[in-house]
């Protein structure tokens, strides 16, 4: 049986960051942010696909035309997550 105190203890102490959190990009407050990291990665992936779509073929690789609908379906949820988290954090601080 578990003690109530062990259920309330944090999984990791706040002063010790795990190695995984070092991969997250810092948000505007300076804290590691998963949503900022996802938004940045999705922006760069979409940009790379857009630039690659300028070329019809690169060596043996055939590249499809840029699909704005697919790019929107990829970017909108991640940007919504990022800006939603920012708004939630700012509104809860007030």
Can you tell me which residue has the tokens 């190695």? Answer: 19
pLDDT at 73: 92
Least confident of 9-13, 18-22, 46-50: 9-13
The answer on pLDDT for 43 being more than 90 is yes
The answer on pLDDT for 29 being more than 90 is no
- Sequence ranges of the domains in the chain: 32-88
Whether 52 and 58 have beta carbons less than 8 Å apart is answered as: yes
Where are the extended beta strands (E) located within 15-94?
25-26, 32-33, 57-58, 61-62
pLDDT at 47: 94
């Amino acid at each position: 049986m578990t003690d109530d105190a062990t259920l309330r203890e944090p999984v990791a102490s706040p002063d010790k960051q795990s190695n995984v959190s070092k991969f997250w990009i810092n948000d505007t407050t300076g804290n590691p942010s998963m949503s900022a990291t996802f938004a940045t990665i999705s922006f760069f992936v979409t940009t790379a696909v857009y630039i690659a779509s300028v070329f019809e073929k690169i060596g043996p690789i055939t590249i499809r035309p840029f699909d704005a609908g697919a790019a929107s379906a990829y970017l909108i949820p991640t940007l919504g997550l990022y800006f939603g988290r920012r708004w939630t954090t700012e509104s809860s601080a007030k």
